Structure 1
Amino acid sequence: RKQAHGLLDFNDLILRTRTLLSDERVAAWVLFRLDGGIDHILVDEAQDTSPAQWDVIRLLAQEFTSGQGARANVQRTIFVVGDKKQSIYSFQGADPEGFDRMRDLFSAQLLEIDQPFQSTTLDYSFRSSPAILGLVDQVFASQSGLGSQSVHLAYKSGLPGRVDVWPVFQKPDKAEVRHWTDPLDEVSTDHQDKKLADTLTSHIQDLIETETLTQLDRKGAPLHRKITAGDFLILVQGRQKLLFREIHRACKEAGLPIAGADRLKVAAELAVQDIRSLLAFLALPEDNLSLAEALKSPLFSWSEQDMFDLAQGRDSPFLWRSLQNRKADFPSTLQRLTELRNLADFKRPFELIEHILTSQGGRTALLGQLGPEAAEGIDALVSQSLAYEWGSVPSLTGFLVWLDADDLEVKRQMDSVGDKIRVMTVHGAKGLEAPIVILPDTAERKDPKTRDIVDHRGLAVWKPNSKFIPNTLTPTLDALKSRQLAERDRLLYVALTRAESWLIVMGSGDIKEGRNCWYNTIHAAALAKGASPYITATGVGLRYEPIPWQAGDLKEVKTTIREACVVPDWVAPSSTTPIWPIMPRAPSDLGGEKVVSGGLTQSNSNALRLGTAVHLLLETLPNTKQSSWSGIAARLIDEDIFAAALQEAT
């Protein structure tokens, strides 16, 4: 598909650039041209750089170390900054070992031409308090995944900090007996993830109402203020887990301001599914399920009783036919659906969706029931309808097929969501920070799965069944597993270092002592740092607080009050028929029979025949002699309209 449309994605650009700079036929000329235009190369987040990207950097810097360049008076440099401890994107090709390889390569090349090479480390952390950094160093004192010793210096040495470790929410010994009518996806009230989410939400409410947070001003003087919802960042290891959904559910039920998920799959959004069901019905009115889903959605807000009344004992196998036969019972719904059906064959998918959302008030209805976070999914669907029209002939059926085949994922900018609780994955939180970080997903995880295709000494090898792995492949698989486990340690490092002042650690499930999991690792480190018993809502936990929590004066938090926006009347869709100005009547609008020269009275069919005949004569006769026009016309035109057509044409 990319080739058919002449498109290149980000990976294509990297690979083609590497190929261009490596091609012996043109590489020397390209590098010569670049030699006159590149003075400095800066590489940021080098720990996330892939081998292909390193190859491009190496080839671009090749001229830097080849001796005197095109401009001998220019000092050219390469500056690389990165933290191997934060390399967590191996699934995108990141190679933390490439950082050391390239450092050694550039060092050797620069020394050969007597150019200085400097390698330095920055141990200061400008974000976290000494309490957080002390725990981090203690956690990784016995962990080997970072590749180097964890030693931090706190730039904010006077900033108070806390580390709380809550008791584990254990899996219930006996599952709750559920009624057979309960939905299969409904979470039982005694499920450990549900209990953790409810307790976590209650704790956040208590902190917002009663607790303060100490910060340092620009001069380094301490002050404390009330905690707000925007101070919380909740990190999980995966979005597919039940815990992720339960935390969102609990926060919404408690009325806490919470941002949506950091990433959303457009097709999985409820608002998008509702619109898609309505579109599917418009494309195929016999689709009973899609019509039922649309009627139950916020777009029509039918109740269970309404659906039952329509479906039970209906006079037709099709819901749409039954709905038409009961016009008096559901006039509004029938009127809206009939309007959309009349438009479906003529409107483009984008126009049809816009009509649903705007003219029929669908956007307001969806956001009113699903919350403002549903807007991003709706906007993404509208954008997808435009993208579909860019590459295909627009049709409703074609758009639905294209939409089902697409797997669009939208990334939210979580650093600009305002004063709201953020819930996201550790991968998504890299580069972000928050005064209070909560880690609820700390239970033991399954061993990382090895890819089906393994790189074995430069060869692509299909990984065999574990029972039949040959001895020659075992070291390769063991090394790959070790790298995956090391990345899991680095993921924990990134999670811990997002916190500025307060780290709250929780866990649920089957967490047993001695098992290798984040909870046990952090719990042991807190004990080693001298944490004290701490009474929580669910039992005795631990609290590590080396510096008194409150310091300085209480500062009032300034809240920005947004002025109400007055929407002009012309923005709202009008339900009245506009009054058009009186325009002069055209002759063709006068009505009555039209009489052409020659006395031929036109019916619709004769008028069409006459017009076609006149056009044919106008195309043919000018290329012939005038004396032969009558004979040619007689051969081309039917006898009953011959005279009228010839007179009109000549």
Structure 2
Amino acid sequence: QRGIEDLESLAAALVSLDITVKRELEAGRDEVRVMTAHGAKGLEAPIVFLPETTLSRTARGSALLETEAGGFLWSASGKADGPAAAAARARRVRKDEEEAFRLLYVALTRARDRLVLCGRVSSRTKEETLQGWWRALNDALAHPDVGPQVRAVRSGDLEFQRFGPDPTALGPAAGADAATAPAPAWTSEPAAQEAYARYASPSDLGEDAVAPAASPLARSRGLGRFRRGELIHRLLQVLPDLESAVRETSARRMLGREPDLAPDQADEMVAAAMGVLNDDRFAEVFGPGSRAEVAVAGTAKALPPGLAISGRLDRLVVLPDRVLVADFKTNRPSPDRIEAADPAYLRQMALYAGVLADVFPGRRIEAALVWTDGPKLMPIPELLIAETLAELGRNG
């Protein structure tokens, strides 16, 4: 809705957002949480196990190596490294090790009362050859300030090292008996079938919808079937908010970012969009106070019982005495009269009008289809909207 059209602008907008996400550990729950060290950052638990401290880094990583100067070198194998590539590869190894030890620090500082460090190796692995976390932990336990307080402890067939006081055996916790109650009678009865989904899309209701007319560009230079309609919709969404003098130039600049669009295709789409925007019949639809892509969801007295819709209005104008709602259609050729329009389109607009009538009581709801082919503005008579809703209620 802010008119962002490229990835670079979107990334800049996200970076500028001032959002802080605070994570807290649920208190007092008898459960075991399994997390990565990275995911546990900022949390605390009474007892923390590190089950895998003997794993070593096995991934080769990308062949693209970053240098100290901020450049990049491509080297698929260390055997072929020259001096610059070898230095860049050593830099990446150093950076990876620094990040690994930052994660180890996070993992070690999550425990409030007790920390249990574990590891497993094959019978052929010599402990002195292990590196990474295990080597760092063993070196820490052998430190002169720590080593004298480390002692060997046996538990059954296991022998392990312990630093700090022995834990106090508390025995099994006295679990509270969960209160049980008989299941209510309705749980054994089949649920009544609902007439509609919780929220239905107005464009999907009804099985008699005519298949949308294929765009004339459907098989032209690889454009998809609905590509023309999507691009014209985007133009009609963005251009009304710009000064009229720069609309056509902006439209060509927007379509110029589409790599699969030929110049003649872009010209046709710009002409279709500008034909609508420059037509006096559409002045109110795109005038002051009009809004594009308005989300609407809910039910209404005029809708069949149990039906709630969720959709998006192409254009909405709220005036003191009436409400205008318009939907853009790019089908070609467009019908000559509203009664010949696709029944799915009429049903869609009737549902929108029904909901808006409850949202804006006392105001007249005027619905219309805007065809870019022509262009044409086709108001939908109130009687036709009422008949469409009545038919939908009978079929539901």
- Indicate the TM-score class for this superposition, using the shorter chain for normalisation: 0.3 to 0.5
Higher helix share: 1
Q: Higher relative CO (CA 8 A, sep ≥ 6), structure 1 or 2?
A: 1
**Larger fraction in strand:** 2
The structure that has the greater radius of gyration is: 1
